[in-house]
Amino acid sequence: MAKLLVVDDDKNLRTLYEQELGDEGYQVTLAASGPEALEYLKKDRPNLIILDISMPGMDGIEALGKILAKDKSMPVILNTAYSTYKDNFMTWSADAYVVKSGDLTELKAKIKEVLKQRGIEV
């Protein structure tokens, strides 16, 4: 069972991801901010990180840099309300870029795809 870390400052959105991705059979861990996520990564290594960009304090791009600096191979899907960040070259270092939507089909597909690319069993 793959372990996912969801980083988002929106509490209800975190709840949604926990519930929906849990239904998909993933083990979901939640973090409300970049620092909280980095703190978690010190103790455990998820198979995939779903990272929000727009967050107060440390934003997703900064968090991504710090995560990759520690573990270059960490798979990360950027999940944001903006499509504009696609132009930021930093986002290129992420495995995928998914615009937030009430329809989680694309996100779920990307998770599967990335895990598959990395050879991780679902």
Partner 1 sequence: MPESESTPARVLVVEDDAGAAQSQEALLQQGGFRTASCRSGAEALARAQTEPFDLVLLDIDLPGEPGALALTRELKKAPHLAWMPVMFVAGQISAEVVAKVYEAGGDEFIAHPFKPDELIVRAKVLSRKGREERWLVERARKLAEKIAERDDELDDLRRFAQDIVSSLPSAIMVLDAQKQILFVNAPLLQWLGLERREVINKNLVEFTRDGLTGDPLAEAIAGATGSGQPRRLRRVTGLFASRPDRVSDLTVAAIDYAGERQVLVVIEDVTEQARAEAAVARERAKLHDIVNALNAALCLVDRERAVIWKNRTFDLWFGDAFGQPGLQAFLDRIPKGQGWWQSVFQKGQVHHQTWSVFTVHGQRRFFANIIAPIQAEDGEPISQALILTQDVTEQETRVEQLSLLRELSQFLQQTLDGERLNHVILLCVTAGHALGFNRAFLFKRNHQNSRLEARMAVGPTSREEAFRIWAEISSHGRTLHELVEELDRYPSRETPLFAMVRQLSYAMDDPSEIVVRTALEKKPQVLTAPAHDERVTDHFRRVFGHAEFVSVPMVAKGSVVGVLLADNLYSGRAITEDHVKLLSLFGAQAALAIENAETYAELRKSMSELRSAQEKIVHAEKLAAVGKMAAHVAHEIRNPLATIGGFARAVLKRPENVERVQRNVGIISEEASRLENMLKGVMDFARPTSPVFKLGDLNAVVQKAFRAHAEPLGQKKIQAELDLDSSLPEVGFDEGQILQVLHNLIRNAADSMPNGGAFLLKTGREGEMATIMVQDTGCGIPPEVRDRMFSPFVTTKPDGTGLGLAVTKKIVDDHLGVIRCESTPGEGTTFQIGLPLRQPASGTWLREAPPAGTPAPPLGEVRGVPSTGD
Positive or negative, the CA dihedral 22, 120, 42, 100 is negative
Q: Is 104 in the site for partner 1 (CB under 8 A)?
A: yes
Nearest distance, CB of residue 87 and partner 1, angstroms: 12
Q: Which is nearer to partner 1, 112 or 118 (CB)?
A: 112
Rounded Cα distance between 94 and 68, Å, is: 9
**Residue 56 φ/ψ, nearest 5 degrees:** -65, 155
Q: Is 81 in the site for partner 1 (CB under 8 A)?
A: yes
Contact residues for partner 1 (CB under 8 A)? 9-13, 15-17, 19-20, 23, 32, 54, 56-57, 80-82, 84, 99-104
